[in-house]
Structure 1
Amino acid sequence: MAGPPKKRQKRDDKPDTQMPQKKFYRQRAHANPFSDHDLVYPTCPEEMDWSQHYPAFTATIPAGVPKDDPITTTDWDDHYLHPRITQDVEVADIGCGFGGLLFALAPRMPQTLLLGLEIRTAVTEFVQEKAKALRIQQDIASREGKEQDLVPGQYQNLSCLRANTMKFLPNLFQRGQLSKIFLCFPDPHFKARKHKARIVSAALNSEYAFVLRPGGKVYTITDVEDLHVWMVDRFEGHAGFERVGEEEVEGDVCVGVMRGETEEGKKVERNGGRKFVAVFRRVADPDWV
């Protein structure tokens, strides 16, 4: 007698309009960032094809023509036309988990492209499937005239990519491309010999500074005070960042979403734990750089 269907089969049998269930996408909480993970990356950001991630923000543009060039493509031969994204990704949620932050921010920033970066395969698939289901549901509501059920942006502006940002962040983003980076409840790696695997370090902060535009922000939150102190110390000790004042932090909508909409944030709230938040602004490089 055949046993119960495997989780993969249950995932595949799900209708496209049905929201995915986390119980079919469970995976170990941590992944070794130093392992190869059999990942494929573009050699440079220009080679990354974002059109499959943001189809609503994709147009057919001649190769080699800048995104902001106001040309008309009707005069071009189809042989020279390629689907290309019409604007750049601006917000990155590193270690996005099940995407709580992304799905909360997307309706609040409908014209901004958000990307979740997650190293775990099953968790990445969950976010991708949820985004797909939400887009289809919104399209159906639009066709049926149910404007009250629509959410601004229709979740077309978010996507998730399986990636190891500790190794390949500059392969995905150009210099100064991002306006916001979120580091929400990263793995604390408590043992001293594991600190090298923390997502905040002097070397990684230089990469964050590279992909962030001047004035862009890095948002950090954790329920581990030791890790919070570590992150604050590393960012304050980096010439490319300055800490944002408490008044500005409390008035930032993104901070409120980060505190209350992530899965880890909700769990900390249920358990009565504390949340430590710090935000850092990318300062402009001196003229000689």
Structure 2
Amino acid sequence: MLGNEANSTFSKTTGLPRKRFYRARAHSNPLSDSHFPVPISPSQVDYSVHYPQLFPFSDQKAIVSQKIQFADIGCGFGGLLISLATLYPETIMIGMELRDKVTEYVKERILALRVSNPGQYQNVSVVRTNSMKYIPNYFEKGQLSKMFFLFPDPHFKEKNHRRRVISMHLLDEYAYVLSVGGIIYTVTDVEELGEWMRKCLEDHPMFEPLSNEELEADPVVKLLTVATEEGQKVARNEGQTFQAIFRRIVPSL
């Protein structure tokens, strides 16, 4: 019996998938080509696949009025998404992850949580995609109110900085899909990357930093370093984290 449980991809105690069966490389090259379906435009995103209880019919995708508002870019094993799903139960959110095994884990995790918690976690989903290439394919102008970039790949070598998920040209795309007043959250345990992300956001005319008072009042900020596997690992090692949290604004003329 113990042998069967050890070989099962699901824990008999929690009913959740076991991470060790879904491990993948820590880093992926976002500039390489991967093979997965990509919607032609945001109107082609089938909400019934991701949120079947909220949108049970696929033909509703073209007329759906309630849309995804939170996007966790490079969501990893989904820790932040799961926390946000109950903190904001009326908000539809999605994780975007490039690694196929990790994406599959998050899918199974969400399905298991839906079964064990009827009526909950219906507002959260995950998709395998390359967010550096396909953000405009998933979200309309001004659709999102929050975007998350938690512990992204640092790509230490200077020649690989173009692979970083925060850059001036990518911030143009993020500003396009964020509503005015929307928030972009970044955190890392790599000081140089933290400085890079903050400087990109400071130099971009469509973003401004949140005040200390706003950061203190935002319940999401408290989750950034505790909800994810990477954040928990940094905490166990008593490491330091570096945050840059900015608001989408209308640039002054």
- Measured in 1, the distance between the counterparts of 2:8 and 2:193 equals 38
1:34-93 deviation digits (Å, cap 9, x = unpaired): 11111221111111112110112115597797445xxxxxxxxxxxxxxxxxx1000000
Letter paired with 2:236 = R
Picking from 12, 36, 40, the partner of 2:37 is: 40
Name the counterpart of 1:49: 46
Q: Would the alpha carbon gap of residues 65 and 44 (structure 1) be closer, same or farther in structure 2, given more than 3 Å must change?
A: closer
Query: C-alpha separation between the residues in 2 aligned to 1:270 and 1:64?
Result: 43
Give the SS at the match of 1:261. Answer: coil
After superposition, give the CA deviation of every residue in 1:69-121 in whole Å (9 maximum; x if it has no partner): xxxxxxxxxxxxxxxxxx10000000000001001111010000110000000
Q: Deviations over 1:206-239 (max 9, x none)?
A: 0000000000000010111111110011111111
Given residue 231 of structure 1, which amino acid in structure 2 is its aligned partner? M
Name 2:234's counterpart in structure 1.
268
Q: Could you say which residue in structure 1 is the equivalent of 2:182? A: 216
1:144 alignment partner in structure 2 = none
Measured after TM superposition, the shift of residue 18 of structure 1 is 2.4
Residue in 2 that maps onto 1:96: 75
Mapped to 1, the partners of 2:231 and 2:51 lie a distance apart of: 27
For the pair 1:109 / 2:88, whether they are aligned, the reply is yes
Provide the aligned length of Structure 1 versus Structure 2.
Answer: 249
Stretches of structure 1 lacking an aligned partner (at least 5 in a row): 69-86, 140-152
CA-based RMSD of the aligned residues comes to: 2.3
Give the 5 Å matches for 1:36-185. 36-60=33-57, 66-68=63-65, 87-139=66-118, 154-185=120-151
* Change over 3 Å in CA distance of 1:55–1:190 after alignment to 2: same
Instruction: Give the aligned partner of residue 193 of structure 1.
Output: 159
Q: Which stretch of the first structure deviates more once superposed, 52-61 or 245-254?
A: 52-61
Q: Give 1:142's aligned residue.
A: none
Give the AA of the match of 1:204.
L
How has the CA–CA distance of structure 1 residues 156 and 63 changed in structure 2, closer, same or farther, with 3 Å as cutoff? closer
The yes-or-no answer on 1:18 pairing with 2:31 is: no
Alignment of 1:201-240 (within 5 A): 201-240=167-206
Using the TM superposition, give the Cα deviation of residue 30 of structure 1 relative to its aligned residue in structure 2, in angstroms. 0.8
TM-score, structure 1 normalization: 0.81
* Structure 2 unaligned regions, length at least 5: none
Letter in 2 for 1:28: R
Distance 1:30 1:60 in 2: 36
SS of 1:250 mapped into structure 2: helix
- SS of residue in 1 equivalent to 2:184: strand
1:258 aligned residue (207, 224, 246): 224
What SS does the aligned partner of 2:117 have? helix
- Could you list the structure 1 runs, at least 4 aligned residues long, displaced by more than 6 angstroms after superposition: 61-65
One-letter code aligned to 1:180: K
SS at structure 1 position matched to 2:40: coil
Identity %: 47
Deviation at 1:249, TM superposition (A): 1.2
TM-score using structure 2 length: 0.92
Paired amino acid for 2:230: E
Give the counterpart letter for 1:30 in structure 2: H
- In the alignment, residue 53 of structure 1 is paired with which amino acid? H
Cα distance in 2 between the residues matched to 1:64 and 1:227: 38
Question: Do the aligned partners of residues 33 and 285 (structure 1) sit closer, same or farther apart at CA in structure 2, a change above 3 Å counting?
Answer: same
Q: Is the 8 A contact 2:48 2:61 kept in 1?
A: no
Supply the distance in 1 between the matched residues of 2:227 and 2:180 (Cα, whole angstroms).
27
